[in-house]
């Protein structure tokens, strides 16, 4: 497993869930990883320790991805620590579910900002380095929710729809510099984020998944590894669904 | 001696031009001798808009300066308004005069009526970037090195265009290239404003 040897990756929101699984999978493929987190320092340090225990290279770095100067420090630290930046995983984001008629502006903006503003700031900040390298790989985490309408999370759906559009737009804009941009769209994955909805409607959701199981974070991580590797060198602007067939 | 170790005041125009050409050849993936000082980056070297940004990023790192993100027409529009500069896609007489004053490296023959606004970026050459770099280095050299908080002598960052106080840790960024060139634009066109306000 050495598809990412000598590569350097920043994974935002990597202290747990899908982000942590991606960080661990990247390290197993040989990449040095910057494990970004917002508030879960201990969790992020556990991810770093696990990577180091397996002989990999990683650092944890606290940064709010919606804070311009914090993102600048995150990217600067990554470049100084590991001399280059090959991969950015724009994964950080939160949910604030509510029916639209009752949704507060704060709920709307918090979700839109964490996903879209966060992705924008991180992407913009890594570009000088990636452009100078004439190569780079950006993967944003989308969601099946962007394509499969549901009630009570319009802010999240709008944010992920934005991520898909951003992905296609940047794929065109950045291709001349050798930078690929893709998205991975998970279905219902066994994480804290989906715990509430699984508790409420476990069997109903499972009935809609042709593969008859919820996804594991490592299912998503494997797809991200593929897109980040040279095996996907001719793929850009794609949204790769990892859903067990949900929504087909 | 490497460039990074040199002080701006010891860097000659020739040194700067050589470095700028090296950056542009790297950004455009050309051999250094293919990068002519006066040729249009767009027309003769195939530079796209993203390449110009790439060059700006590289020059920022090379010289520890804050390169402008806006171009001359954007800055001029902020100063005079779009209608004064562009009419039906063509650069107006005022716009042409402004380009002559702010881009002295451009051959006057290219700044004639009929110039399309979308073709202004095609005027950019190595010399344009050399001029801007020299201006920003001059501004950096003139930048006060005394810490505004404790008065100690600040040190230039090795990585980013800012100064750090070794005593109290204050970080002071250099003024942005946009701000510097906008102030220059105002100074260079002070009398132009009078003409537009009091037409003959």
- Chain A residues near residue B57 by CB distance under 8 angstroms: 127-128, 131-132
Integer CA distances (angstroms), B4 to A4, A15, A133, B19, in order: 32, 38, 20, 11
Q: Give me chain A's average pLDDT, please.
A: 95
Residues in chain B: 200
Say what the pLDDT of residue B194 is.
44
CA distance readout (Å), B178 to B54, B70, B182, B183: 17, 7, 6, 9
The ipTM, to two decimals, is: 0.81
Highest mean pLDDT among A181-190, A204-213, B148-157, B176-185: A181-190
Between the alpha carbon of residue B191 and those of residues A18, B35, B103, B106, B179, the distances in Å are: 61, 36, 17, 21, 20
pLDDT of residue B193: 56
Closest residue on chain B to A173 (Cα)? B50
Instruction: Give chain A's radius of gyration (CA, Å).
Output: 17
Ranges A203-207, B4-8, B58-62, most confident = B58-62
Please give the pLDDT value at position A213.
93
| pLDDT band (50, 70, 90) for residue B1 | very low
State the DSSP code for A152: S
Whether B3 has a pLDDT exceeding 80, the answer reads no
Identify from B24, B26, B46, B50 which residue to disrupt to test chain A contact, counting A C-beta atoms within 10 A and taking the largest count: B50
**Are A174 and B50 inside 8 Å of each other by CB?**
yes
Q: Which residue in chain A is spatially nearest to B29 when comparing CA positions? A: A134
Q: What is the pLDDT of residues A199-230, one digit of tens each?
A: 777 788 888 999 999 999 999 999 999 999 99
Of B53 and A196, which is predicted with more confidence? B53
> A-chain residues within 8 Å CB-CB of B58?
128, 132
From B54's Cα to the closest Cα of chain A, the distance in A is: 6
Between B29, B57, B160, which is nearest A131 by CB? B57
Cα atoms in the Cβ-side hemisphere of radius 13 Å centred on A143: 26
**Nearest to residue A118, comparing CAs of A165, A159, A170?**
A159
The mean per-residue pLDDT over the stretch A235-244 comes to: 97
Residues of A in contact with B51 (CB under 8 A): 176
The stretch B85-93 carries a mean pLDDT of 92
With a CB cutoff of 8 Å and minimum separation 6, the contacts of A181 are A138, A139, A140, A167, A170, A171, A174, A236, A237
Q: What is the spatial distance between Cα A229 and Cα A139, in angstroms, rounded to a whole number? A: 11
- Closest in B29, B50, B54 to A173, CB measured: B50
pLDDT tens-digit map of A17-34: 999 999 999 999 999 999
Using pLDDT thresholds of 50, 70 and 90, give the confidence band for residue A7: very high
User: Is residue A58 scored above 60 in pLDDT?
Assistant: yes
Predicted local confidence at residue A204, as pLDDT: 85
| Across A155-181, average pLDDT | 97
Q: What is the pLDDT of residues B160-183, one digit of tens each?
A: 788 999 999 898 988 899 999 988
Q: Please count the residues of chain A.
A: 248
Is the confidence at residue B7, as pLDDT, over 60? no
Q: Which residues of B163-175 are buried (b: 16+ CB within 10 A; e: fewer)?
A: bbbeeeeeebebe
Q: Do B57 and A132 touch (CB under 8 A)?
A: yes
pTM of the model: 0.87
Measured from the Cβ of residue B110, the count of other Cβ atoms closer than 10 Å reads: 13
| Sheet strands (E) in chain A | 8-11, 32-37, 58-62, 87-90, 136-141, 179-186, 239-242
Would you place residue B134 in the very low, low, confident or very high pLDDT band (cuts 50, 70, 90)?
very high
Mutate to test the interface with B, among A68, A69, A80, A131 (most CBs of B within 10 A): A131
Q: Do B159 and A80 touch (CB under 8 A)?
A: yes
The C-alpha of B98 sits at a distance from chain A's nearest C-alpha, in angstroms, of 31
In DSSP notation, chain B reads --GGGS-GGG--HHHHHHHHHHHHHHHHT--GGG--SSSBHHHHH---HHHHHHHHHHHHHHHT----SS-HHHHHHHHH-HHHHEETTEE-HHHHHHHHHH-TTS-GGGSSTT-BGGGGGGG-BHHHHHHHHHHHHHHHHHS--B-TTT-PBPEE-SSSSEEE-TTT--EEEPPPHHHHHHHHHHHHTHHHHHHHHS--
Is the pLDDT at A16 greater than 70? The verdict is yes
Options A156, A159, A163, A215, the catalytic residue: A156
């Amino acid at each position: 497993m050495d598809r990412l040897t000598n590569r350097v990756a920043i994974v935002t929101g990597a202290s747990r869930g899908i982000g942590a699984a991606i960080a661990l999978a990247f390290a197993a493929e040989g990449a040095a990883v910057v494990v970004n987190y917002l508030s879960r320092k201990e969790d992020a340090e556990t991810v770093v320790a696990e990577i180091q225990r397996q002989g990999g290279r990683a650092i944890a770095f606290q940064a709010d991805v919606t804070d311009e100067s914090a993102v600048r420090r995150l990217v600067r630290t990554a470049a100084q620590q590991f001399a280059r930046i090959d991969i950015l995983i724009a994964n950080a984001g939160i949910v604030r579910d509510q029916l639209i008629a009752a949704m507060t502006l704060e709920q709307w903006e918090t979700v839109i900002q964490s996903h879209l503003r966060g992705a924008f700031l991180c992407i913009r900040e890594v570009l000088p380095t990636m452009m100078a390298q004439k190569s780079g790989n950006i993967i944003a985490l989308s969601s099946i929710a962007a394509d499969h309408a549901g009630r009570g999370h319009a802010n999240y759906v709008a944010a992920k729809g934005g991520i898909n559009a951003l992905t296609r737009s940047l794929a065109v804009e950045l291709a001349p510099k050798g930078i690929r941009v893709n998205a991975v769209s998970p279905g219902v994955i066994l994480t804290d984020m989906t715990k509430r909805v699984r508790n409420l409607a476990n069997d109903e959701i499972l009935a809609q998944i042709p593969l008859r199981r919820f996804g594991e974070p490592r299912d998503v991580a494997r797809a991200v590894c593929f897109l980040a590797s040279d095996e996907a060198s001719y793929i850009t602007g794609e949204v790769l669904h990892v859903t067990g067939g949900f929504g087909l | 001696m490497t460039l990074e170790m040199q002080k701006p005041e010891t860097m000659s125009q020739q040194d700067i031009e050589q470095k700028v050409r090296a950056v542009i050849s790297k950004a455009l993936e050309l051999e250094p001798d293919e990068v002519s000082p006066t040729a249009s980056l767009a027309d003769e070297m195939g530079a796209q808009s993203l390449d110009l940004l790439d060059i700006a990023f590289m020059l920022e790192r090379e010289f520890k300066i804050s390169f402008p993100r806006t171009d001359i027409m954007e800055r001029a529009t902020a100063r005079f308004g779009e209608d004064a500069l562009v009419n039906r896609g063509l650069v107006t007489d005022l716009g042409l005069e402004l380009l002559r004053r702010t881009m002295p490296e451009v051959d006057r023959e290219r700044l004639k009526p009929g110039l399309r606004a979308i073709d202004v970026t095609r005027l950019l050459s190595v010399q344009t970037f050399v001029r801007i770099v020299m201006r920003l280095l001059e501004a950096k050299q003139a930048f006060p090195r005394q810490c505004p908080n404790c008065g100690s002598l600040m040190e230039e960052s090795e990585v980013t265009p800012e100064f750090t106080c070794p005593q109290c840790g204050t970080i002071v960024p250099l003024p942005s290239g946009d701000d510097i060139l906008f102030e220059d634009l105002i100074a260079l066109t002070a009398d132009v404003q009078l003409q537009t306000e009091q037409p003959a």
